[in-house]
Amino acid sequence: MTGNTGVINSSPLILLGKLRRLDILEQMTPSVFVPEAVFREIEVGVYKDATAKSTLAWADSRRISDIDVPHSIVAWDLGPGESQVIAHCLVKSCRAILDDGKARACAITHSVKVIGVLGILLRAKEQGVISAARPLVMQLRAQGSFLDSRLIEQSLANIGE
């Protein structure tokens, strides 16, 4: 992911914020954009999540206005944040940072490159940004990520963990 621009959805942003590891995202991507719709989704949870305020503070300088979403994306009936992420990626020709399976399928259908929070951690390990991915991946699971156990084990095995 290094050298690429990304537009991030709420789930990966919230999860990395809960881990207090938004620094990984900064190191892996020189420019990360957060659509206004994603910002609003995170604001909803600010009273339930102790890390939401710091995540929003981090995201504030990366905030971008919402844009018109093409009908081909609207037809997928995604959430507003996911729709904005994909729409921005189409305009900016950049990578979508999404975890939701349906949103990822929509992005791929629109020829948008996709990475999720697991992929970010795996690449961070491969590029020496972090010394080990497994502890962070296990923390992701503890923080509410719905990553499949087999996918986790296979992915970690692929990077020698």
Give the mean pLDDT per block of 10 residues along the chain (161 residues): 78 93 90 96 85 93 97 97 97 94 97 94 94 92 81 88 90
**Number of CB atoms found within 10 A of residue 64's CB:** 15
User: What span, in angstroms and rounded, lies between the C-alpha atoms of 56 and 40?
Assistant: 10
Chain-wide mean pLDDT for the chain?
92
Report angle CA 17, 19, 20 to the nearest 5 degrees: 60
Type of residue at 24: I
Domains of the chain: 5-118 (3.40.50.1010)
Cα–chain-centroid distance for residue 118? 9
Residue 4 has a pLDDT of: 76
48-59 confidence digits (pLDDT tens): 888 899 999 999
Nearest by Cα to 16 from 7, 25, 3: 25
What is the dihedral angle through the alpha carbons of 58, 64, 66, 70, rounded to the nearest 10 degrees? -110
Percent of the chain with pLDDT over 70: 98
pTM, rounded to two decimals: 0.91
Return the number of other C-beta atoms located less than 10 Å from residue 109's C-beta: 12
Q: Which of 155, 127, 159 is nearest to 140 (CA)?
A: 155
